[in-house]
Structure 1
Amino acid sequence: MDFYDVIVVGAGIEGSSTAYQLAKQGKKTLLLEQFPLPHSRGSSHGQSRITRKAYGEMEHYTVMMKEAYKLWETLEQESGRKIFQETGMLTMGSADDKFTMGTIRCLQCHGIPHQTMDYNQMKRAYPMIEFPRDFTFVIDKSGGILRADKALMSYHETFRHYGGIIKDGEKVLEIIPGDSVVIITSTNQYRAQSVVLAVGAWATKLLPKLQVHLPIKVLRINVLYWKEKVSGQYGVDKFPVFLQENAISGFTVYGLPSAEYPGLVKICLHWGPEVDPDTRDKADDTWVINTMKKYVSKHFPELNPEPAIIETCMYTWSDDENLILDHHPSWRNIVIGAGFSGHGFKLASVVGKVLAELATNETPSYDMTPFRIQRFRHNAKL
């Protein structure tokens, strides 16, 4: 039976970042993935994700994002790929909108370059969109696009460069805790001093087998692309990424310029039906599609209000929307990374560093209080 310093289960962006950090430290590391790579069955596929520094509603992430940007830059240098593209991020809301006002306060407090605008200033900058005249608009100038597929590929390649081993197409069937941990897959058995579980939506299935029942659920997200009426009108040189909290029935809407598919703008609802990750395609998404058609028609009049392409992704949503980064309550050599709640990708570079620290019993670089499992003690079975 092969023995490793650390086995990381799950080769999505969080697990891959973690494995990369461990291999870079010289740890003998195995990265396990249940599907053949690359694949589109999890939460890390696709070409783009929004990134930003300001987190007015969860300011501890603003602190982490400062290092996340540096770590993405390091990955760019090591891989030779351009992963981040700065476009700025637009946020908008009324004077009593906690997210927009919190974002402005966060930008000011942390000295992040930004610009606030009233309606007329916004229309001069972005005449192709329409929002209420009493809204305040703010641009986080550090915001932009992470090239998701390139980031994941770069982690896998640099992980191998540092001596890491990837085994894909191997589903984990059983994890046997102990002074060292045994992992039984569909084709092999492995042993490691410690294990990191970064299994995305499958945390809802794997963690209960280890007597950890967390208040997390899996949502299927419709990734929608809308065709420009005038080609290039929403290109990266003219339009930023954007995020509107409480846009529809209390739910958030986000979007990116036409950067992935020629002439198609990505605008999505930050919510979806709850699903089983193994049968997500059976979910009824009628409400999401119809709702987004109305939203695009109202606020983006220069887009065709019928989605041109519909893809899917999954969020693993925690009750408080904070990440779960912690040791297993009974076995310190089993580390859990879960509940990324739709905003984990931008943080993945620094999350990998933290999970690697936990796996090697180093002192974490950040206050782990917001991420501990114990915070769910009232509604989790540990």
Structure 2
Amino acid sequence: MSDEAYDVVVVGAGVEGSAAAYYLAKRGKKTLLLEQFPLPHSRGSSHGQSRITRKAYPQDFYTEMMHEATDIWRQLEREAGWEVFRPAGYLAIGEHNGVFLKDNVSSLTRNDAPFQYLPPPDFRRRYPMLAYPDNFAAIVDTDGGILRADKALLAYQTTFKKYGGRLIDGAMVTNIRRGNIITLETPNATYRGRSVIICPGPWASQILRPFGVKLPLKVIRICVLYWKERQPGSHHASKLPTFFEENCCDGYSIYGLPSEEYPGHVKMCLHFGPEIDVESRDQVDVKWVIDLMKTYVRTHFPGLEAAPSIMEPCIYTNTPDSHPVIDYLPGSRNIVLGAGFSGHGFKLSPVVGKVLGQLACGETPSYSLTPFRIDRFPPQAGL
């Protein structure tokens, strides 16, 4: 065991853990980032080429956080030296005067975020490749766009090391012992830290069990689907923003990105999927997901082939209210948890990393974490 004690040890080098480690190292904190798998890998929730970023949220607290997150993405780009964020806009689709669009407009307005509201005639005129009912409208979030997910993750990790941080992959944490100095055991070495941040992704339940903490988390498999354009270039980012429609496929939402990462293919997915065991994610029936999406594409995207050409897996770790847990672990003021990001944490990671780091340093976070407290969920039985 090394006698060296880090200021903070971060467990999990997905996007949230890497963002926290980047924030801490940039502040001059002696920081260790541990990842259980050899990097890069596609076992969790942070891999892949693209994610949506947006300020349009029905909840004010997310729109407020996204102001700073967007600035930090730009700053990370400059520090890394490559593109992380590509402006393409974001389209929130829904019924004119419906609750979903009204809540987004209210949040954007209160937080002074730029947007355009497209009533039904303007929506149809602006995006002729889409086919929605005549009463449908949209919000254009002009600060939204595409995050280069794999490049963003690499930017966090590369810049973290540039600021003096230490990253060790292939180092699964098998035991965490509480104390004023926390001890973390891995198969090959033991490490010590004054504070620990745990960002376990879909392995949250396993790593929390020894602490007697059980959260109502569901790990689900997402089918990342790509749909071929019938006319090449018709759904390119220059013509179509990223987009989202709430509660549209048997009560599930959909999201999508224009033809960009696979030329001639639009990325469009159900924002849900079957619950899985994280160690056997592909041993599950996803036909119902694909069938739902085929119907949706055939109905609303007539310019795309009605069967997916490419399918890739991803994983969400969902909470019942779709808000993450960002809080101290019960009984510890030097162990911080970030978990349950419910499929929309990537864009928020610059600010999530900052507040996780602030908690680990014993500081008052820059944002109210009331929506993310661990005690909003009652203690769970069955440990």
Deviations 1:125-161 (A, max 9, x none): 1111100001122211111111111100001100100
SS of 2:306's partner is strand
Structure 1 residues 378 and 189 mapped into 2: Cα distance closer, same or farther (>3 Å)?
closer
1:141 aligns to what? 142
SS of 1:303's partner is coil
Which sections of structure 2, spanning at least 5 residues, go unmatched?
none
SS of 2:130's partner is coil
Contact persistence 2:116–2:139 (CA under 8 A): yes
In the alignment, is residue 302 of structure 1 matched against residue 297 of structure 2?
no
Deviations 1:245-279 (A, max 9, x none): 01111111000001111111000000000111111
Q: Which moved more, 1:240-249 or 1:171-180?
A: 171-180
1:153 aligns to what? 154
Contact persistence 1:212–1:381 (CA under 8 A): no
1:286 aligns to what? 287
Paired with 2:275 and 2:6, the residues of 1 have a C-alpha distance of 36
The Cα shift of 1:96 comes to: 5.6
The Cα shift of 1:108 comes to: 2.4
Paired with 1:248 and 1:286, the residues of 2 have a C-alpha distance of 14
In the alignment, is residue 225 of structure 1 matched against residue 226 of structure 2?
yes
1:321 aligns to what? 322
Amino acid in structure 2 at the alignment position of 1:262: P
Amino acid in structure 2 at the alignment position of 1:226: W
Amino acid in structure 2 at the alignment position of 1:215: P
Paired with 2:216 and 2:338, the residues of 1 have a C-alpha distance of 14
TM-score, normalised to structure 2, is: 0.97
Amino acid in structure 2 at the alignment position of 1:341: S
Amino acid in structure 2 at the alignment position of 1:235: H
Paired with 1:8 and 1:138, the residues of 2 have a C-alpha distance of 38
The Cα shift of 1:378 comes to: 5.8
Amino acid in structure 1 at the alignment position of 2:365: P
SS of 2:282's partner is helix
2:16 aligns to what? 14
Amino acid in structure 2 at the alignment position of 1:364: P
Deviations 1:41-100 (A, max 9, x none): 1100011111111212x2111111111111111101111111111111111212463222
The Cα shift of 1:110 comes to: 2.4
1:4 aligns to what? 6
The Cα shift of 1:216 comes to: 1.1
Q: What aligned pairs does 1:72-151 form with structure 2 within 5 A after superposition?
A: 72-95=73-96, 97-151=98-152
Paired with 1:96 and 1:219, the residues of 2 have a C-alpha distance of 32
Amino acid in structure 2 at the alignment position of 1:67: E
> Following TM superposition, where does structure 1 have runs of at least 4 consecutive aligned residues deviating by more than 4 angstroms?
378-382
Paired with 1:232 and 1:35, the residues of 2 have a C-alpha distance of 38
2:185 aligns to what? 184
Which sections of structure 1, spanning at least 5 residues, go unmatched?
none
Paired with 1:70 and 1:115, the residues of 2 have a C-alpha distance of 21
TM-score, normalised to structure 1, is: 0.97
Contact persistence 1:204–1:217 (CA under 8 A): no
Paired with 1:354 and 1:128, the residues of 2 have a C-alpha distance of 41
Amino acid in structure 2 at the alignment position of 1:140: D
Please, what is the CA RMSD of the aligned residues? 1.4
2:370 aligns to what? 369
Paired with 2:299 and 2:345, the residues of 1 have a C-alpha distance of 29
SS of 1:282's partner is coil
Structure 1 residues 107 and 380 mapped into 2: Cα distance closer, same or farther (>3 Å)?
farther
Q: Which moved more, 1:114-123 or 1:215-224?
A: 114-123
SS of 1:127's partner is coil
The Cα shift of 1:119 comes to: 2.8
The Cα shift of 1:115 comes to: 1.6
The Cα shift of 1:335 comes to: 0.6
Contact persistence 2:96–2:119 (CA under 8 A): no
Q: Which moved more, 1:204-213 or 1:234-243?
A: 204-213
Deviations 1:24-52 (A, max 9, x none): 11111111111110011110001111111
2:27 to 11, 25, 28: 25
Contact persistence 1:215–1:380 (CA under 8 A): no
SS of 2:32's partner is strand
What is the percent sequence identity of the aligned residues?
A: 53
